[in-house]
Amino acid sequence: MMVRKPAFLFPGQGSQKVGMGRLLCEEFDIAMETFASANAILGFDLAALCFEGPEETLKLTENAQVALFTASVAALRTWQSVSDITPVAVAGHSVGEYAALVAAGSLAFEDGLKLVRKRGELMRDAGLQTPGTMAAILGLDAEKARAACVEARAEGKGLVAVANYNGGGQVVISGEPAAVERAGELAKESGAKRVMPLAVSGAFHSPLMVNAGDALFASLSTTPFRKPTFPLVANVDARYIHTPGDVTAGLTMQVSGAVRWEESMQLLVQDGINVMLEFGSGDVLCGLMKRIDKSVTTAPVVDGTTLQAALELFKDETD
């Protein structure tokens, strides 16, 4: 019998959708209690925004990030209320790293929610001060995407860089609008199957966000982080975080640095992880994992039905 070695994953901005968390909260009190706590801390009805929309308000950076964080922790707490299966390691994509820190016992939910709200506001403000955009490049390896960014900068189009190394032939670039557009054209010339502009309010995970990261550091440095109970793979370098100092540094650099997701997942697989559970909203990370390594079993945990399906994966080990 194969021993299941799970990692818990948490999605980032873009996975939010109207209705997120509603079914989970209808079925499990612990999930609704998590949203109620978030409502009280934030001072507005986040639950209603997640369950009912409107979508235009939900997808605003300052709202999408707290929505995803809360939905992820609600799903995590629900899992913990019905199962004693713990992760071998954890990881989160961009803002998902905050939920991963909660899962690792490094960050309290209440502190994390305040940080995520601040992060979203700072990133929104940075986007207003220095307009930027992002685009997904599909069907092109990371090296060629990076070369397209270098060439666009050399042509004087402005700043553009790779923001997300998602794996499976998916790379996201970020920067000044003209530079992103030119890099996308160059990527197509290099063989990209498709270049998709993303509906975002700024050039996230690019040097245009350095000031936002520096401003966030003030809040991070006063937040009590604990040593992670489970290994956590950091976005910025695809290495394990071990100390509270690592956490603060990583989250500061993450705002303007690339998300090295493919390398992060490869590290987990290399260390024997063979099951990936995605907590929160949707199954984007499960989809990416299937393109990175098809041998890994994936399952989302977003409502009672998917929760039960994920538990079934471990049935032989818990009987």
Give the residue numbers marked as catalytic.
94, 205
What φ, ψ does residue 169 adopt, rounded to 5°? Answer: 75, 20
Closest CA to 59 of 100, 114, 14: 14
Distances from the Cα of 187 to the Cα of 138, 159, 202, 262, 318, angstroms:
9, 16, 21, 19, 49
Closest CA to 94 of 213, 243, 226: 213
* HEC secondary structure over the chain: CCCCCEEEEECCCCCCCCCCCHHHHHHCHHHHHHHHHHHHHHCCCHHHHHHHCCHHHHCCHHHHHHHHHHHHHHHHHHHHHHCCCCCCEEEECCCHHHHHHHHCCCCCHHHHHHHHHHHHHHHHHHHHHCCCEEEEEECCCHHHHHHHHHHHHHCCCCCEEEEEEEECCEEEEEECHHHHHHHHHHHHHCCCCEEEEECCCCCCCCHHHHHHHHHHHHHHCCCCCCCCCCCEECCCCCCEECCHHHHHHHHHHHCCCCECHHHHHHHHHHCCCCEEEEECCCCHHHHHHHHHCCCCEEEEECCHHHHHHHHHCCHHHHC
